[in-house]
Structure 1
Amino acid sequence: MTLVSLARSSRTTVGSIFQTVWSYRTYATSSQESKQAQPPITPAPIQESPLSLVDQGVTATGAATRGDTVSEFSSTLPQSRVPSATQLPQAVKKEVKKDLSGGVYLIRPIGVRSPPHPDDNTGIDKRTKEQKRADFTNYDKHLEKRRQLLKEFSKSYFAEVKEFGENLGKEWTAPKSYFKADKALYMPNFFGTTVASSSSIGTTSVLKGKISIVRLYSALSGEKQVNTYFASNAEAYGDVPVEKGYQIVDISVPESFVKSYISKFFEYRTKAKIGKTRQNTFFYGTKLPGDLNLSIGFVNKFAGYVYLVDKDCKIRWAASGPASDEEKESLQRSLAGLIGESASNVQK
């Protein structure tokens, strides 16, 4: 009985497996036949915008060949949608600055408002004991001195080097004409020694009563720049005849005590290259205190500056950095105008 039951169950299991395999084979065959009988599906055409058609080079007739030109299709587009030459990739041209100052002209007078004196900015403390005591206990005085020291030491040495490399000290372009006497400001006094004498003297005593071309610099690079305002080195360093009605004054301001000592040591070279009468007007000056340097635009010790100063020590014309042809003509024109103005005042 047990053997009969086992045989029946085995026959049932084998039959069920065979039936499952046969059903799967029938389903696979029918699926393949139905797939072959189904017609292929064609994709719907894509509606492209006019701009995409232009990008692909499609013509007005709808041809999809990329060899067709855009100009054939541009007739069907609005004028605002037609790509122009400026919309196409252009070669980037590097901008070259012809004017180192950036086109900044000096349109306002520079200088100080108070008339200078030969004993100004000597660096000698002439205060009395009472004044020193009062300043020592004055909190506002301490804050002002602290502000000046912070401003001086916060400026990096390499900042001026970088600025000089960018614009060669050309902070502004000289004006085309000189300033009026009633609007001009004064040239501050520089205190120092001359090539002819070791005695200290102020520049105001030399500038007073004469029309002067003042050349101001601290480094050799600045000296070379101020020479560009003259036709030749002979004119830049030579004697100026009295009948011309003006003088040339050089003010060399060494930035440190060491450079000042070196300049004095090689003073014999300066004597050899300048005229004999120029030795009395060649100064080794000291730094101006406070913000007086900024008042005359003397902001870069590597650059050179040229000023046209009248008989009253007023700055009537100023330039910085290397000279352009326009500035050379402006200097000579302004100099001739000041000489004529001085002559007319004398006749009156």
Structure 2
Amino acid sequence: MATIVSHHCRRALVPLVSSTSTWLSLSSRNYFSSSPRAGFSSSKATSDSKPHTSNSATVKSKSSPEGELQPLSRPLGVTEKPAIRHQTKLERLKEVLTNDEAIAEQRKHLVKEAVTKGYFHDLNATRRHGGKTWIAPKVLIREDRSLYFPDIVGKSLADGSERHTTSMCMGKISVITILSTKISEIHAASFTTPTLARFASHPLFNHLQINLQLNALKSILVSLFLSSLRRTIPPEQHPFYLVSSQNIEYQRDAIGLANDRVGYVYLVDENLRIRWAGCADATADEARALEVCTGMLVTRLDKRKREMKEKGKKLLEELQQDRASER
């Protein structure tokens, strides 16, 4: 939807849009766990499972030069736990027309689009920092402050069946990459290569790729060339590669998807919470941070599962002993 706003309206609306980001900046210091003492040592990182407050992922300081990239300043994600069932267009329209909160959400979204984005916004943004809008954190987002990765539905490259990210990622540690262009694939690989080399074969680890086409024409073209896509993607990745045209317009800001020309990487825990995120081309520190943070989550989940298995085994033995004594 194209919206035309006069120069005076823009000046009046800018404070409305910037106020939210200002509040988030002021409160960001409590969102992240403390970084390991030994830098990026995986052995040290996996031993610290308690969430702590950290200043390692702080926000823009007053002395920072204008336009300099800053660390991620807020948790990404949606507040409601995702469900597999989505609203139909009729249900969404009814909600927008009758629900006050939905009307306010719609108004806020339109205001932001009118003030901050033009038709070539994403393309022009790639000329600045290569489309990168934040520096990925060196540590995990605290579990008690983290938000949910929204459910995205797409067709599996393996057999064309419809699959949901919610059911695919529940109970596992997942690295989810959102792709839309060839350059976004390169961006994602710059983040994930070390992590996949270490964890790809781990039974508690998932690597999910989502080819998300928000443009209707591009979505049709991708669908037409699925056979070509299958030839370029390794066969073992087909079950975990989704092609989607889902409208996530109202979740884009929540998950930090500011530019659909670049790649986005999300580290999602077994409860579907986003615990880390990165965008565009990765630095060496960002790629290493993803590997270490993934290792922390995988180690914790593996430990919990082993403890649960041992408890179950002990309960079974006690039950068998009780039955034997009754005889």
TM-score (norm 2): 0.65
2:76 is aligned to 110
1:306 is aligned to 265
Distance 1:175 1:139 in 2: 36
Is residue 179–residue 316 contact of structure 1 (8 Å, CA) maintained in 2?
A: yes
Question: Matches of residues 58-73 of structure 1 in structure 2 within 5 Å?
Answer: none
1:256 Cα offset (Å): 1.4
Is residue 101–residue 167 contact of structure 1 (8 Å, CA) maintained in 2?
A: no
1:263 is aligned to 222
Is residue 69–residue 133 contact of structure 2 (8 Å, CA) maintained in 1?
A: no
Distance 2:211 2:66 in 1: 24
1:276 is aligned to 235
| Structure with higher RCO (Cα < 8 A, 6+ apart) | 2
1:110 Cα offset (Å): 1.2
1:299 Cα offset (Å): 0.7
TM-align CA RMSD: 3.1
Question: Matches of residues 163-312 of structure 1 in structure 2 within 5 Å?
Answer: 163-231=125-193, 240-243=200-203, 245-312=204-271
Are 1:162 and 2:124 an aligned pair? yes
Distance 2:151 2:233 in 1: 23
1:182-217 superposed Cα distances (whole Å, 9 cap, x missing partner): 221110111221212333332111111111111112
Q: 1:345 aligns with which of 304, 318, 321?
A: 304
Distance 2:267 2:105 in 1: 33
Q: SS at the partner of 2:123? A: helix
Letter in 2 for 1:116: P
Segment drifting more, 151-160 vs 296-305: 151-160
Distance 2:299 2:161 in 1: 35
Distance 2:206 2:82 in 1: 19
- State the structure with more CA Rg: 1
- Cα 1:285–1:343 shift into 2, 3 Å: same
Is residue 216–residue 245 contact of structure 2 (8 Å, CA) maintained in 1?
A: no
Is residue 120–residue 191 contact of structure 1 (8 Å, CA) maintained in 2?
A: no
Distance 1:246 1:206 in 2: 11
Is residue 208–residue 311 contact of structure 1 (8 Å, CA) maintained in 2?
A: yes
- Cα 1:139–1:174 shift into 2, 3 Å: closer
Distance 1:142 1:179 in 2: 31
1:269 Cα offset (Å): 2.6
1:262-313 superposed Cα distances (whole Å, 9 cap, x missing partner): 1112212322233333212111223444431101100101111111111111
Letter in 2 for 1:334: C
- Cα 1:109–1:267 shift into 2, 3 Å: same
Distance 2:81 2:193 in 1: 33
Is residue 174–residue 318 contact of structure 1 (8 Å, CA) maintained in 2?
A: yes
Distance 2:99 2:205 in 1: 46
- Cα 1:305–1:141 shift into 2, 3 Å: closer
Identity of aligned residues (%): 26
Structure 2 unpaired stretches of 5+: 1-64, 308-327
Distance 1:119 1:109 in 2: 24
Q: 1:127 aligns with which of 81, 91, 105?
A: 91
Q: SS at the partner of 1:293? A: coil
Is residue 216–residue 250 contact of structure 1 (8 Å, CA) maintained in 2?
A: yes
Alignment coverage as a number of residue pairs:
240
Q: SS at the partner of 1:127? A: helix
1:151 Cα offset (Å): 4.7
Structure 1 unpaired stretches of 5+: 1-98
Is residue 190–residue 288 contact of structure 1 (8 Å, CA) maintained in 2?
A: no
Q: SS at the partner of 2:131? A: coil
